[in-house]
Chain A
Amino acid sequence: MCRNEREIDNTFHPEEYLFRRVPTKIWDTPDPMPEADAIELPDISVGRSRYGHPEWTRLDPENDRYFKSWGIIGVKVGLIPPSYQPEGGPAFAYTPSHQPLEQDYPHTEIQAFQGELQLSTKESVPEELHLEWRGLLLSQMEALLQPRERRDIRQQPPTSHVLEPV
């Protein structure tokens, strides 16, 4: 869905889903879920159910590509591990941020913060915490479209944040 001068919407319902596509290189049938190697941090690019269906995430409109056999995983906003503070260390917080693109209005990122400072590189989070948080996020995720699962692309945008039946 194109942005068409739509406003940024940083209001996320806790039940709203965030979607991410996973290449069949690392997640293929018959595995029910991908492993932690499919989870990125920080600034994880995702779609959102308020403005897009899960199958829309198979589209990469910015680069005019369509990954029709890739699986889609999703997590409810309310289940994203919000913060983490190791013993004696600084607290890290994670939050979704709507970052619409001209050709991809639902585009959102899960960003990481240390205090008020946004962490924009992978190296800015200690590696143990990095992997642990990815594991936590993965444990909250669910498979919404299995790899190679056929799904026609719906033309109408969703009417709410709730996943709509096909």
Chain B
Amino acid sequence: MSAILPRVPIVYTQQTNLLLADCDFSRTAEPYRALDALPAQKSRFVNSFHAYRDSADYATDLHPIPTMVAGGYYGSRAPVKHAVEPDDPIELVHRAVKALTALPTTNRRLESASRAHEAATVTIDARLAVFRKAISVLKRFRPVTLASFTAGPVDKWTARLEGFSALKKGWDSYTAAAPSKGALASASEFLDTIRELGKEPSKLNPSVVGGVGFTFRRDRRAVYIEFRNTGNTHAMFTDGVSKPRVVKVRQDRAGYEDILALVETHFHELPTAASPDVP
């Protein structure tokens, strides 16, 4: 019978950890489990195991982290729990394996968590950079205000117009002057008139010649109204075919209403004979 008894590995000394790690526990455990059918032999085996254990250089407990054993951080006064020495050698083997693998597993998890933290930090940094860049682009274009995000079809023009005050000379990379306060004020009054009449421009831009330009466009027909830094305002009517027609705009409420009426008229004029708009 002794021939089938497995040689119990020396698992209790710290010096033999490597030996334990090299053991094939499945081969060790199977014959032992077979002893369940033979209680007398099993008892003999267990007794011999205990005898061996008691005579061995004995250092059973593996305490990887004292604070974990204590069950808390920073010296919390959790009752100290002492591991109960199991009688079953297989259970001891299981505990030893668990203890030996717990630390690498923990280390691996900690390392993984550490990498995840770094990855998360990188992602957050990248997103912050994108957000900062977006804000800087928006700031160059217009002040970022609540109105920038919530503006309706008319208010968005107001927000855009206000943004032109942040432009500096050379904003077009050449020599364009920023719109003057006077031009911005006149454009703002014109925008009020547009709003009150229920109209809406197609475009509102700073002009490279210095000023503010409104464009009203319907297909090929367009009216461009420019408030110059010089204090003058002109409107240019184009139809994509004939020569542009320019008229001076009177800068008061009546003048603005007149020019907006002309815009409507221009959009509803029949195309000229030379125009490809004619079917």
Residues of A within 8 A of B (CB): 21-23, 25-26, 31, 35-41, 45, 60, 63, 65, 67, 70, 122-123, 127-128, 130-132, 134-136, 139
Say whether A135 contacts B246, CB under 8 Å.
yes
A-B contact pairs, 16 of them (CB 8 A): A23-B173, A25-B205, A26-B172, A31-B203, A35-B205, A38-B208, A40-B175, A127-B232, A128-B234, A131-B234, A131-B236, A132-B236, A132-B244, A132-B245, A136-B244, A139-B240
Say whether A41 contacts B209, CB under 8 Å.
yes
- A25-B205, A39-B208, A40-B208 known; A132+B176 contact, CB < 8 A: no
Say whether A25 contacts B206, CB under 8 Å.
yes
Complex alpha-carbon distance, A65 and B173, angstroms = 9
Say whether A131 contacts B246, CB under 8 Å.
yes
Residues of B within 8 A of A (CB): 141, 171-176, 203, 205-210, 213, 215, 222, 224, 226, 228, 230, 232, 234, 236, 238, 240, 243-246, 248
Say whether A131 contacts B243, CB under 8 Å.
no
Chain B nearest CB from A106 CB (Å) reads 15
11 further A-B pairs in the complex, CB-CB below 8 A; given A135-B236, A139-B244: A25-B141, A25-B171, A35-B205, A37-B215, A38-B205, A38-B208, A39-B208, A40-B176, A63-B173, A127-B228, A139-B240
Residues of A within 8 A of B246 (CB): 128, 131-132, 135
Q: Say which residue of B175, B176, B224, B243 sits within 8 Å of A36 (CB atoms).
A: B224
Residue of B nearest to A81 (CB): B243
Residues of A within 8 A of B205 (CB): 25-26, 35, 37-38
Say whether B226 contacts A131, CB under 8 Å.
yes
Residue among A23, A35, A63, A70 with most chain B CB within 10 A: A35
Residues of B within 8 A of A40 (CB): 174-176, 208-209
Say whether A23 contacts B243, CB under 8 Å.
no
Chain B nearest CB from A37 CB (Å) reads 4
The 6 closest A-B pairs by CB, nearest first: A135-B244, A37-B213, A37-B207, A26-B205, A37-B205, A132-B246
Complex alpha-carbon distance, A58 and B226, angstroms = 27
Say whether A139 contacts B174, CB under 8 Å.
no
Chain A nearest CB from B62 CB (Å) reads 62
Chain B nearest CB from A92 CB (Å) reads 14
Chain B nearest CB from A73 CB (Å) reads 12
- A25-B206, A26-B206, A130-B209 known; A36+B234 contact, CB < 8 A: no
Residues of A within 8 A of B213 (CB): 35-37
Complex alpha-carbon distance, A3 and B88, angstroms = 92
Say whether B210 contacts A122, CB under 8 Å.
yes
- A25-B171, A36-B236, A41-B209 known; A136+B243 contact, CB < 8 A: yes
Residue among A63, A122, A136 with most chain B CB within 10 A: A122
Chain B nearest CB from A96 CB (Å) reads 16
Chain B nearest CB from A42 CB (Å) reads 10
Residues of B within 8 A of A41 (CB): 209
Residues of A within 8 A of B245 (CB): 132
Residue of A nearest to B211 (CB): A37
Chain A nearest CB from B170 CB (Å) reads 9
Complex alpha-carbon distance, A166 and B278, angstroms = 37
Chain A nearest CB from B144 CB (Å) reads 15
Residue of B nearest to A40 (CB): B208
Complex alpha-carbon distance, A21 and B176, angstroms = 13
Q: Say which residue of B174, B203, B238 sits within 8 Å of A135 (CB atoms).
A: B238
Residues of A within 8 A of B209 (CB): 37, 40-41, 122, 130, 134
Residues of B within 8 A of A67 (CB): 173
Residues of B within 8 A of A25 (CB): 141, 171-172, 205-206
Say whether B244 contacts A35, CB under 8 Å.
no
Residues of B within 8 A of A122 (CB): 209-210
Say whether B243 contacts A45, CB under 8 Å.
no
Residues of A within 8 A of B203 (CB): 31, 35
Chain A nearest CB from B102 CB (Å) reads 54
Chain A nearest CB from B100 CB (Å) reads 57
Complex alpha-carbon distance, A123 and B228, angstroms = 11
Chain B nearest CB from A5 CB (Å) reads 26
Complex alpha-carbon distance, A37 and B240, angstroms = 17
